[in-house]
Amino acid sequence: MIQYERMNKVLPQNFFNRPTLAVSDELLGCFLCRQIGKKTTRLKITETEAYDGPEDKASHASRGKTTRNAPMFGKAGQFYVYFTYGIHWMLNIVTGPKDYPAAILIRGTDKVTGPARLTKFLSIDKSFNKKPATRKTGLWFEDRGEVIKQSEIKRTPRVGVAYAGPVWSKKLYRFKTS
DNA sequence: TAAGTGATCTCT
DNA sequence: GAGATCACTTAA
């Protein structure tokens, strides 16, 4: 965490309105928070995956704006939730400026690993699509002062993106702490 | 290791 | 309207 001052607080909209790769990196060690009724669940984020810009062939946005991926073109700090494999919801947080399609897939946390298991565990579905990441939404991010050393962060190719071609499938856009 | 599940996309 | 695709999990 270099660019952004770390404090024990809810990550604001402008945290996400920055380069996607920087946000992907700095989101590690932050907490994904979900409030259902009076109960709040906090999970430490350990794995993220970046989908950055219109040129990224692995991104839903690579073939232009559609009804489904429209949230990626919206302003930073809102969720992009989509359904895949007939069963699973995927939770992404939109990054970068408006009209620049980018988002980060939240792949795993300390207690719950796997993007689909995460959404199932936290009861996240389409209703969070396009919603801002705030307490009011019931789903938000917090910086609770956890420090992740750069040496602890592993960067690897993204999952399931062989179709994106030799250049984009090899990008080290997946961030993981050990 | 393969089946399951269904929205979305891309072609007719 | 039909058929392929898909950034996954589970059960075996």
- Torsion angle of the four alpha carbons A87, A96, A2, A107, in this order, in degrees rounded to the nearest 10: 10
pLDDT tens for each residue of chain A, 178 residues long: 545 555 558 999 999 999 999 999 999 999 999 999 999 999 999 999 999 999 999 999 998 999 999 999 999 999 999 999 889 999 999 999 999 999 999 999 999 998 999 999 999 999 999 999 999 999 999 999 888 999 999 999 998 888 888 899 999 999 999 7
HEC assignment per residue over A54-123: CCCCCCHHHHCCCCCCHHHHCCCCEEEEEEECCCEEEEEEECCCCCCCEEEEEEEECCCECHHHHHHHCC
Q: How many other C-beta atoms are found inside a 10 Å radius of the C-beta of residue A163?
A: 9
CA of A129 to C1' of B5 (A): 21
Cα angle vertex A108, ends A43, A115, to 5°?
115
Within 7 Å: CB of A67 and strand B?
yes
Beta strand pairing status for A39-52 and A79-84?
unpaired
DSSP A157: P
Within 7 Å: CB of A86 and strand B?
yes
The nucleotide minimizing the C1' distance to residue A51's CA is: C7
Within 7 Å: CB of A66 and strand B?
yes
CA–CA separation, A157 and A65 (whole Å) = 25
**What burial class does residue A49 get, using C-beta atoms within 10 Å of its C-beta: 0-12 exposed, 13-18 middle, 19+ buried?**
buried
First-residue to last-residue Cα distance in chain A:
17
